[in-house]
Each structure stands twice: as structure tokens, then as C-alpha cells.
Amino acid sequence: MAFRWRYSDLDGNEVPGPDEVFEDRQEAEDWLSAEFSDLADAGVDQVTLLEGADVIYGPMSLHAP
């Protein structure tokens, strides 16, 4: 099953983001590590990792606590 990120604002509303699909969880997490600041600059406040339609974890903030 493929992994992907769902992007949202602080209120939990989905916002547009890159439509990337990853073969495994590690690949998805590595991509997020490299891209999180660009996502935050583009208006993404939090992300949720999905495997197919199942939530693996999240929402996770892209901002420092």
C-alpha cells in the first residue's frame, strides 16, 4: 500500500500540498524532513501520514512548540 501526506491548517481544514506518493513509510518521512519548512512557508500547518485511507499518525504540527 502507498503512503502519502495529508496537509491541513491549524483548524484541521485540508489545504493543498504536493501530491507525492511513497512506497514506504521511511521514504515518506525522509521527504517530509527535507520539505517541512517549504510546506510551512506555503501555508501548511500540520500533516497526517496515510497508508492508503488509514491514518498512521497525525496530525503533526510543522511549527515549533
Confidence category of residue 65, pLDDT binned at 50, 70, 90: confident
The answer to whether residue 65 is domain-embedded is no
The answer to whether residue 19 is domain-embedded is yes
CA atoms within 13 A on the CB side of 1: 11
Residue ranges making up the domain that contains 29: 15-58
Whether 62 has a pLDDT exceeding 80, the answer reads yes
The answer to whether residue 53 is domain-embedded is yes
Please state the rounded mean pLDDT for residues 3-17.
97
Model pLDDT, residue 64: 81
CA distances (Å), 64 to each of 8, 19, 23, 36, 60, in order?
16, 24, 28, 12, 11
Whether 22 has a pLDDT exceeding 90, the answer reads yes
Number of domains into which the chain is organized: 1
pLDDT in tens, 36-58: 999 999 999 999 999 999 999 99
The answer to whether residue 6 is domain-embedded is no
The answer to whether residue 45 is domain-embedded is yes
